[in-house]
Structure 1
Amino acid sequence: MKLSLPRLGASIFALGLGSALPAAAQMPIAGNYGLGAGLGQSSAILPPPGTHVIENGWIGYDIDRFVDGNGKDTGAPGVDVRATRLAFRYVVPDVTLLGGDYAPGLVLTYRDQVLRPEPGSKTAYQPGDAVFTPIALGWHQGTWHTQVSYTIWIPTGKFEEGGQTNTGKGLWSQMFYAGTTWRQETDLPWAVTLQARYETFGKQKDTDIRPGDVFSIEAAIGKEVVSGLSLGLLAATSFQVTQQTGTPGGNPDKYRINIAGGEIVWKPKSLPGAQVALRVGKDFDNRNTSEGIASLLSLAYAF
């Protein structure tokens, strides 16, 4: 059985809002999607109809520094972010739309902060925002696999205006996704994935701030080096295409995030349908946000 980890990832790296530092006040609110959270060597492959997928992911984001619009260190101290996610997906049998298999999904998160920080936040483990994918469609044509989806972020996490222990962002957002994976039909195959995402936002509760829309491009390449074990390289970029509005004191400049790293995927023969994946990525050349090293340990089971 082929296993594709749910591309649901809504909550890959988390931090809180609010700071008394002037530099932090100029940083825009980052998107809900954690860049690279749903990226893997074969992440655009939808599992076969009738497949259930359950995934538990442990997330770490160790922030080295915060950077301004020129990429210079603001001098604010770094922080460590920790979160976990529990994701569910089901590929509904005998249901197709536009010729594609249909697979809704849900992600629940538990975290100590919210996504991409401003300095000055504090940790407090609580439920975070939830992620619901009502529509995901997948097609298969030989070695090519394509997937599109529509995802909604639901503000179920704690949010208080100016709070330093928020685990939610206090707003709704919507994300449109399209991705394709080419995977060889052979022993020890190569796989290449290319994905694009566009996220747009509602106004934040109590503040009326509306974050700028975000466009992300992600790519991965990997190879199964021995039976059940694959190694891969990952890279992604994300940037605001519109400017944040409604910010008291003036709207901040747009942000940009770049990340590169690697992935190890193991599918144990003794437990068909199981998958263990470790992804590690490092930020570089960012603007108006944080920089650090992100990691995800994912345990998934398809049945």
Structure 2
Amino acid sequence: MKAKFYQHKQIIKSISILLLLLVSFLGNAQLKGGHILGGMGLQSGTQSPENTLAVYVPGYFYSASSLRDSDGNISVANPNLDMFITGVGVSWVSDFKILGATYGASALFAFASNKIEGNNVNIDGSLAFTDTYIVPLQLGWHQKRADFVFSYQMYLPTGKYEAGATDNSGLGMFMNEFSAGTTLFFNDKKTFHFSTLASYEINGKKKDTDIKTGDILSFEGGLGKTFYVFNAEKTAPKSIINAGLIYYLQYKVTSDKIPLPIGGLVWEGDKDRVAALGAEVNFLHLSSKSTIGLRWLGEIGAVNRFQGNTFFLTLAHIFSTGTKKG
């Protein structure tokens, strides 16, 4: 009797654990990737001028207003979930040519709070070192009426991660990403432009698990106008303003893979997607070589993920690394 009672107790315990795991898995499916939407906007298909080194400080703020289900309906209203990212980044463009393109590279060392890993509203993380973003290869081409850019970037899992934890600062996986884009100019002075940048993210397995986030496709860009502010004598510009409407789209291309602790089953769930529209303004002060940029995007049409608002503030200083004028 005691042996049979013990067996029943173990079965009940196993079922309880399984149910808890299922609730946890379903609460966290769909899983997010490392690509930060809103990081690119106007002239997203244009590389910076050659022989320049930019040191920048980004401020990313995302506020979720609702959680949407697989039909796009609200499953959780006002989840009271905000995410913040900041850090220090460097972006360098050389005068070295590859296939007729100018070579560049960049890196971002960042800190994040409330790192969103999936559709889980139970997140409570303070500001901590997060995953590292590195672009070892960026190629830029400049034509009379169009610019083109291609890049490879990777996300290193340097942030804290433990499966099931609510205070992770990273995603616990290595991520590869390839991007290609263009900026089209509608006049000879290149002051009226439209851009788009497509990025495809391939994700590895999460630390100490067989959980794998699906591949993610993102589009970012915008329609803008460049304005030159001249000095009192109107002989030379003293600052440049770039403003316009921006957008982003993101789609989960392949399903997440979340192994379940029974029968070798794997939870995939429905893929997620989201779109956003907003505005951007950038100000470049030429004599000080300093810039400030602000983006706001409001999300629409979210399916199986959070929907909210994205704010992106960037401060940067540009150094010349050569004799050519940018």
- What TM-score bracket applies, with the shorter chain setting the length? 0.7 to 0.9
Q: Measured at CA, do residues 247 and 256 of structure 1 come closer, stay the same or move farther in structure 2, by a change above 3 Å?
A: farther
Determine the structure 2 residue equivalent to 1:154: 156
Aligned CA distance change for structure 1 residues 23 and 201 (closer, same or farther; 3 Å): closer
Secondary structure of 1:25's match?
helix
What is the rounded CA distance, in whole Å, between the counterparts of 1:31 and 1:123 in structure 2? 18
The one-letter code matched in structure 2 to 1:221 is: L
Q: If you compute each CA radius of gyration, which structure gives the higher value, 1 or 2?
A: 2
**Number of the residue aligned with 1:15:** none
**What percent identity do the matched residue pairs reach?**
27
Q: Does 1:57 align with 2:58?
A: yes
CA distance in 2, matches of 1:259, 1:78: 20
Partner of 1:91: 93
**Which structure has the highest strand share of the two?**
2
Aligned to 1:111: 112
Residues 253-287 of structure 1: per-residue CA shift (max 9 Å, x gap): 1110111110011112442x321110000111101
Q: Distance in 2 between matches of 1:246 and 1:20?
A: 10
Distance 2:286 2:271 in 1: 47
In 2, Cα distance between the equivalents of 1:137 and 1:22?
A: 42
Q: State the TM-score, normalized to the length of structure 1.
A: 0.87
The yes-or-no answer on 1:254 pairing with 2:275 is no
Residue 241 of structure 2 corresponds to which residue in structure 1?
A: 229
What stretches of structure 1 move > 3 A for 4+ residues in a row? Answer: 18-24
Alignment partners' CA distance in 2, 1:72 and 1:196: 27
- Distance across 1 between alignment mates of 2:109 and 2:66: 28
Following superposition of structure 1 onto structure 2, how do residues 26-45 of structure 1 map, counting pairs within 5 Å? 27-37=29-39, 39-45=40-46
Structure 1 position 149, deviation (Å): 0.3
Aligned to 2:293: 277
Q: Distance in 1 between matches of 2:112 and 2:142?
A: 36
The alpha-carbon deviation at position 185 of structure 1 amounts to 4.3
Counterpart for residue 253 of structure 2: 241
Q: Deviations over 1:123-142 (max 9, x none)?
A: 21100000111111011112
Alignment match, 2:311: 295
Determine whether 1:186 maps to 2:189.
Answer: yes
Change (3 A) 1:132 1:108: same
Q: CA deviation at 1:96?
A: 1.6
Q: Can you give the 5+ residue segments of structure 2 that lack an aligned partner in the other structure?
A: 1-19, 230-239, 261-265, 320-326
What is the aligned residue count? 282
2:169 match: secondary structure = coil
Q: Aligned equivalents of 1:115 and 1:26: distance in 2?
A: 10
The 3-state SS of whatever aligns with 2:76 is coil
TM value normalised by structure 2:
0.81
1:212-223 alignment runs, 5 A limit: 212-223=214-225
**279-288 or 70-79, larger mean C-alpha shift:** 70-79
